[in-house]
Amino acid sequence: MSKRTFITFGVLVFVLAVVIPWLAFRGSGDANTGAEAVPAKLKEGQALFQTNCGRCHTLYAAGTTGNFGPDLDLLLAPTGPPEPGEAGEKQAKSTAERVLNAQREGVDSSMRGRMPPAILNPAQQKIVAEFVGAVAGEG
Ligand code: HEC
């Protein structure tokens, strides 16, 4: 084998054995694959949502894709661009209230399946509602 062929072959082996697997596997190994990174104060709500709501609801920020209930990004997305400052907080708050109410009372519009009330305890409901209020419509 000439030196040149040897080097070319070496480079090829390196690409196949090292670079391609590295490209394929980098970024995986994260326990929350698919979920968005959220501020620390929303983390608990995100985890609760993933475990208790995600099998029925799609929500981008939680990385869930359930489709028994409505896609909450579509249903709860703020109309128009995100509002800056206080207006944005107000918007998140009213969405959170709607989410809290849905969890407390359950939802049964008789149009699709129904959502059972009180899947979580009241304190957890509030934590999830704040999370969803803050993130719905992203992505
Ligand atoms: C067993 C499946 C299921 C689970 C689990 C579930 N939901 Fe639902 N959810 C539904 C269905 C179905 C609807 C729509 C019901 C209808 O339109 O009659 C719904 C509707 C909603 C709505 C819309 C209410 C509105 O104002 O229109 C919100 C918000 C919601 N769910 C939040 C949650 C949250 C938060 C959780 C986790 C605590 C959760 N859901 C868990 C099935 C589920």
- Write a three-state SS string for 50-96: HHHCCCCCEEHHHCEECCCCCCHHHHHCCCCCCCCHHHHHHHHHHHH
pLDDT of residue 19: 59
- Enter the DSSP assignment of 110: S
Domain-wise residue ranges, the chain: 1-30, 34-135
Q: Please indicate whether residue 57, judged by its CB atom, sits closer than 6 Å to ligand 1.
A: yes
CA distance 42 to 32: 14
Q: What is the pLDDT of residues 4-48, one digit of tens each?
A: 777 677 767 666 676 555 556 555 444 445 789 999 999 999 999
Cβ–Cβ < 8 Å for 63, 35: yes
Q: Please indicate whether residue 59, judged by its CB atom, sits closer than 6 Å to ligand 1.
A: no
Q: Please indicate whether residue 48, judged by its CB atom, sits closer than 6 Å to ligand 1.
A: no
* pTM for the structure as a whole: 0.79
Q: Residue 93 contacts by C-beta under 8 Å, 6 or more apart in sequence?
A: 133
Q: Please indicate whether residue 100, judged by its CB atom, sits closer than 6 Å to ligand 1.
A: no
**Minimum CA distance residue for ligand 1 atom 2:** 56
Q: Which of 134, 118, 119 has the alpha carbon at shortest distance from 82? A: 134
* Distance in Å, CA 53 to ligand 1 centroid: 8
User: Reduced to 3 states, what is the DSSP secondary structure of residue 115?
Assistant: strand
* Distance in Å, CA 85 to ligand 1 centroid: 29
Which CATH number applies to 34-135?
Answer: 1.10.760.10
